[in-house]
């Protein structure tokens, strides 16, 4: 670790440390956003996103939160390696990590303003705007001086597409000893995603939001679902290439498990879906085995 200077200002500037630790081993963080990375399905969408970018406060990874206007949080809280965690092959000395690469478009909301809006812990709303909003749209941060108005993923209001250019998620292999990236690829296809919430059915690997972990076998195969395309994949640990896929009956926002019984190997995953990832909800436990 090394301490580096970070941006100051924002709310409660006296509470802001002048430096923050930066890893010398490895980081899943991508380069800072630029206006050129703003994206859209049409030139108008891209123009709107570029205008929003210019109007927002953005000073890089440690951008201080603001109340006067929007600020960009990148990666957002669904960014980097999320609750799926990482998988480790201790024999080959390789870390496998799937990650998200999306910003949030935020504003801190003073407590008085949030109270007037009726923002409160879930189940205790008082008819405010948060009651009918998606998760993360108006988080009350109860007991603190500020609530937070979150545009999770920085979406456009009409099309629902993200302002940042794809990929929005990836899968990477890291050398456990040195921290060097062995390969890094977009993870997740566009088959279930598209403008206005309409599935495009395109098998293009654009890199989608993903939540759920991976498992690595002794044979050097990664099994992972996690993405919003409801696919489970077998991936070559050495090259990162997809070896096999299958369509799950629900979203695979879970970590698969593999085990052996009587000389036969099984692969099992809970395809339950996830409301925040907008994948199909189900209650099916899926098991695979070689013939």
| Residue 129 belongs to a domain | no
> Total domain count for the chain?
1
Question: Residue 196's closest CA among 278, 79, 99?
Answer: 278
| Residue 126 belongs to a domain | no
Identify the pLDDT of residue 106.
95
Identify the pLDDT of residue 246.
97
Residue at token pair 């409660």: 12
| Residue 146 belongs to a domain | no
Range of 12's domain?
Answer: 2-103+153-289
Decide the pairing of beta strands 19-22 and 71-73: unpaired
**Average pLDDT of the chain, as a whole number:** 90
| Residue 142 belongs to a domain | no
Identify the pLDDT of residue 215.
97
| Residue 119 belongs to a domain | no
| Residue 201 belongs to a domain | yes
Identify the pLDDT of residue 131.
47
Query: Residue 93 is part of a domain; what is its CATH number?
Result: 2.40.128.630
Distance CA 207, CA 229 (A): 10
Whole-angstrom CA distances from 12 to 65, 161, 278 are: 9, 33, 35
| Residue 64 belongs to a domain | yes
Identify the pLDDT of residue 183.
98
Give residue 204's pLDDT band: very low, low, confident or very high (50, 70, 90).
confident
What number is the average pLDDT over the span 105-130? 80
| Residue 166 belongs to a domain | yes
Secondary structure (3-state) at 72: strand
The pLDDT tens digits for 6-54 are 999 999 999 999 999 999 999 999 999 999 999 988 899 999 999 999 9
What number is the average pLDDT over the span 133-141? 69
Q: What is the pTM of this model?
A: 0.89
What number is the average pLDDT over the span 53-63? 95
């Amino acid at each position: 670790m090394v301490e580096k200077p970070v941006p100051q200002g924002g709310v409660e500037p006296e509470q802001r440390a002048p430096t923050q630790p930066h890893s010398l081993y490895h980081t899943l963080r991508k380069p800072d956003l630029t206006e050129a990375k703003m994206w859209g399905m049409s030139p108008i969408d891209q123009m709107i996103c570029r205008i929003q970018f210019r109007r927002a406060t953005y000073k890089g990874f440690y951008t201080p939160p603001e109340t006067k206007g929007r600020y960009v949080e990148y990666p957002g809280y669904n960014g980097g390696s999320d609750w799926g965690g990482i998988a480790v092959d201790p024999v080959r000395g390789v870390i496998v990590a799937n990650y998200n690469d999306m910003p949030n478009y935020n504003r801190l909301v003073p407590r008085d303003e949030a109270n007037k809006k009726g923002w409160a812990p879930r189940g205790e709303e008082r008819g405010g705007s948060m009651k009918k909003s998606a998760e993360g749209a108006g988080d009350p941060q109860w007991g603190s001086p500020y609530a937070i108005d979150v545009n999770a993923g920085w979406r456009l209001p009409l099309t629902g597409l993200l302002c940042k250019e794809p990929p929005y998620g990836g899968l990477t292999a890291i050398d456990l000893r040195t921290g060097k990236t062995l390969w890094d690829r977009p993870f997740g296809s566009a088959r279930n995603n598209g403008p206005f919430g309409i599935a495009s059915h395109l098998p293009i690997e654009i890199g989608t939001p993903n939540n759920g972990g991976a498992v690595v076998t002794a044979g050097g195969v990664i099994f992972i679902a996690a993405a919003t395309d409801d696919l489970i994949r077998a991936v070559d640990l050495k090259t990162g290439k997809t070896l096999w896929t299958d369509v799950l009956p629900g979203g695979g926002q879970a970590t698969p498990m593999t085990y052996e019984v009587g000389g036969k190997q099984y692969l099992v995953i809970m395809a339950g879906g996830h409301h925040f990832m907008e994948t199909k909800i189900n209650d099916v436990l899926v098991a695979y085995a070689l013939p």
